[in-house]
Structure 1
Amino acid sequence: MTRYAGFKLLIVDDHAHNLFTLRTLIEAHMDVTVLEAHSGQEAIDCTHQHPDVDLIILDVQMPEMDGFQTASLLKMRKRTRDIPIIFLTAAFKSEEFQQQGFAVGAADYLLKPIEDNQLINKISTYFRLIEKERELNRTLEQKVAERTLELAEARQYLENILTYMGEALLVLEPDGTIKLTNPAARQMLGYSAEELTGMSIGDVFEEEGDAEAGAFMGTWLEALIRTGALSKIEARFIASDGRRVPILFSRTAVKDSAGHISDIICIAKNMTGYVRVEKEADPTRHRAAREVN
C-alpha cells in the first residue's frame, strides 16, 4: 500500500483512548503526519497552526462544541473550507444524523465499529483523490505558464516588428479615430503616442482631390466594406509643425466574425526625396512632327 508520505491528517476526539487507537492504526499503515485535537476548538486552532492539513477525521459526540458545529465553522473559513471531513462516530447512527453530517459539508459519515482495513482504505481513497487533484493542478499550472510564455514571446515578436518597421503604421477605429501608432508614424508626424491616440485621421492626412477632411472617410468605408482593401495612393501627412510629408498610402479593413469592420490598418511610406518620372511621349509622334515640318 502507498504510504502517502508528506500528507497531514487531523484526528479529533474528546477521548484520549480513541485518539491513541486511531493514531496507532494509521501510523501502522501510512507515513502521514498525524495531528490530534481533543475538542472542536482545538481542531480549529490546529488548522490555524497547520494550514496544510489534508484530511480531518472528526468525532460527532463531543462536549461544548460537537462535531457538526466544528465542521460548520471549518467550512465557513476560507483556509479550511476545502479540507475533506470524515465523521467517525459510535453514536448518532440514524439516517437523520448522517444527513445532518453531509449537510454541514462532510465528505463521508462512517459508523463504528468499522473494520481496520476498511477505514484505512477509505482514508487512502481520499489521499489518492487529493494526489490526483494536485497533479491536475500542477499540469494545468504548467500549461498556463507555457501558454503565458508563448503569448509573451508572440507579443514581443509583434512589438519588435511594429517598432522596427520602416513604414508608418496607424490603426484606426471604424470612424477614423487613431487608436494605435508605431514609432515610424510618430517620427514622421512629429507627435507622441499619447497625442496621436484619439485624433482623427483627417487631422494628419490629406488626399489629393479631397474638398473636406471628413468627406473621404465615407468613401473609404464604402470601398473597404466592398473590397476589404484599397490600392496604394499618393497622399500627404500633415506633420505637427504643418509640414506636408508626401507618402504612398494603403488602407486595409479588419472585420470581426459578424462581418463588421473592427479596425482600419493604414500603412504609409515616406516619399520625401523621390521624384515622379513622367512617361516618355511616343517617339513616333515626334518623328512624324519633324517630317511634317
Structure 2
Amino acid sequence: MMGGPDFKVLIVDDHAHNLYTLRTLIQKHLNATVLEAASGREAIDLTLNHRDIDLIILDVQMPEMDGFQTASLLKLRKRSRDIPIIFLTAAFKSEEFQQRGFAVGAVDYLLKPIDDNLLINKISTYFRLIEKERSLNRELERKVAERTAELDEARQYLENIITHMGEALLVLTPEGEIKITNPAACRMLGYREEDLLGLSIGDVFEEEGDDEAGAFMGTWLEALIRTGALAKIEARFIASDDRRVPILFSRTAIKDTDGNITDIICIAKDMSGYIRIDNDTVTEATTTTNAARTTEADHEQ
C-alpha cells in the first residue's frame, strides 16, 4: 500500500455503485481516508466541513450540477481552490471536453471504464507530490521558527542593553517627537515612560546658551542631515519638576536608502556632580607648582 494515513480523498458520483467501486479500489491499494458525495452540492459542503481533503475524484456527468460546474465553484472558494481534481467521464471523450475540464481547474482527466492500475498510479503520484510539498512546508516552518527564535533572542538582548544602560536614550521622529526611551531617561527626567512618549524634544531639552529649547530642532538638524551625527555637546534636560539636569549629549540620524532621516538617536549622560576644568587653568596651575618647586630647591643649595 502506498501513501500515508493522513491522506484524504473525496470521490463524487451520483451513482452509488460507482462510489462503492472507487472506494473499494482506493482502500485496497492506498492507505487513505475516503469521503463520498453523491452530488456536486454535497461535494462542496464536504469541502467546507473537511479542511484536509488532499484530492478530489469528480464525475463529469451528474444531474442538476455537473462536474464542470462543481469544479468551477470549488475553485472559487479559498478553502478548496487548491485541491487537485481528477475528472472521470464515460461520455465526454473529445479533446474539446478535456480542455474544458482543464480550464475549470482539473489536473487530470480519465475515461470510463476506469483502468484500475492507471487510476491508482495517478492517485499515488499526487500523494507523493502532496507529501513532498508537506515536507517542504515543514522544513520552511522549521526554518521560520528558528529564525523567529533568533530574532526574539536578539530583540531581547537589545532590550536588556537599552534597559540597563546608564545613559539616557531617546529615539525621536524626524519631527522631534519622542518615540522610544529607556528607564535611565525616565529617571533622569522624572517622567513615567508612558508620559514621556509622544512629547516633543523641546519639552525636555535645553541647549547651552539657548533660551528656548526649540533651538534643538534648528541649525543642529541641518547639520544632522548633512553629516548624520553631531559631536557631544553640553546641554541641559528639563525635568518634570522644571529642574535643569546638566548632560553631555550626542545625536545621530538614521537614514533610509533615499537619504531621508527616519529616526534620531539621542544619548545623554548625567553630568550632575562633575566639575568642568578649563585646559588653560590646568596648565597654569601646573606651571605655578613647578616654579615653586624650583625656588625651594635653590634655597636648599
Deviations 1:149-199 (A, max 9, x none): 222222221111111111111112233332221111111111222332332
Listed as ranges, the matches of 1:104-119 within 5 Å are 104-119=104-119
Matched residues in 1 for 2:31 and 2:95: separation? 34
Could you tell me which amino acid in structure 2 is paired with residue 255 of structure 1? K
Matched residues in 1 for 2:244 and 2:265: separation? 21
Query: Is the contact made by 2:235 and 2:246 (CA closer than 8 Å) also made in structure 1?
Result: yes
Q: What secondary structure is seen at the aligned counterpart in 1 of 2:213?
A: coil
**Bigger CA drift: 37-46 or 155-164?**
37-46
Q: What secondary structure is seen at the aligned counterpart in 2 of 1:257?
A: coil
2:185 is the alignment partner of 1:172 = no
Q: Is there any run of 5+ residues in structure 1 with no aligned partner, and where?
A: none
Matched residues in 1 for 2:33 and 2:215: separation? 78
Deviations 1:87-128 (A, max 9, x none): 111111122322322233222222224433222211112112
Q: Which residue of 2 aligns with 1:158?
A: 158
Task: Evaluate the alpha carbon distance shift between residue 176 and residue 62 of structure 1 in structure 2; reply closer, same or farther with a 3 A threshold.
Answer: closer
Listed as ranges, the matches of 1:276-287 within 5 Å are 276-278=276-278, 279-280=281-282, 281=284, 284=287, 287=291
Deviations 1:223-259 (A, max 9, x none): 3234332222222111111111111111222222122
2:81 is the alignment partner of 1:81 = yes
Matched residues in 2 for 1:109 and 1:284: separation? 103
Matched residues in 2 for 1:214 and 1:195: separation? 20
**Bigger CA drift: 271-280 or 128-137?**
271-280
Displacement of 1:76 in angstroms is 3.4
Q: What secondary structure is seen at the aligned counterpart in 2 of 1:148?
A: helix
Matched residues in 1 for 2:78 and 2:204: separation? 56
Displacement of 1:133 in angstroms is 1.8
Aligned-pair Cα RMSD in Å = 2.6
Task: Evaluate the alpha carbon distance shift between residue 150 and residue 66 of structure 1 in structure 2; reply closer, same or farther with a 3 A threshold.
Answer: same
Q: Which residue of 2 aligns with 1:121?
A: 121
Listed as ranges, the matches of 1:1-293 within 5 Å are 2-278=2-278, 279-280=281-282, 281=284, 284=287, 287=291
Matched residues in 2 for 1:284 and 1:152: separation? 58
Could you tell me which amino acid in structure 1 is paired with residue 183 of structure 2? P
Q: What secondary structure is seen at the aligned counterpart in 2 of 1:214?
A: helix
Give aligned pairs, total: 290
Matched residues in 1 for 2:276 and 2:55: separation? 82
Could you tell me which amino acid in structure 2 is paired with residue 56 of structure 1? I
**Bigger CA drift: 168-177 or 279-288?**
279-288
Could you tell me which amino acid in structure 2 is paired with residue 135 of structure 1? S
Q: Is there any run of 5+ residues in structure 2 with no aligned partner, and where?
A: 296-301
Matched residues in 1 for 2:132 and 2:180: separation? 46
Displacement of 1:284 in angstroms is 4.8
Query: Is the contact made by 2:41 and 2:65 (CA closer than 8 Å) also made in structure 1?
Result: yes
Task: Evaluate the alpha carbon distance shift between residue 283 and residue 196 of structure 1 in structure 2; reply closer, same or farther with a 3 A threshold.
Answer: closer
Query: Is the contact made by 2:3 and 2:128 (CA closer than 8 Å) also made in structure 1?
Result: no
Displacement of 1:216 in angstroms is 4.6
Query: Is the contact made by 1:86 and 1:108 (CA closer than 8 Å) also made in structure 2?
Result: yes
- The percent identity for this pair of structures is 78
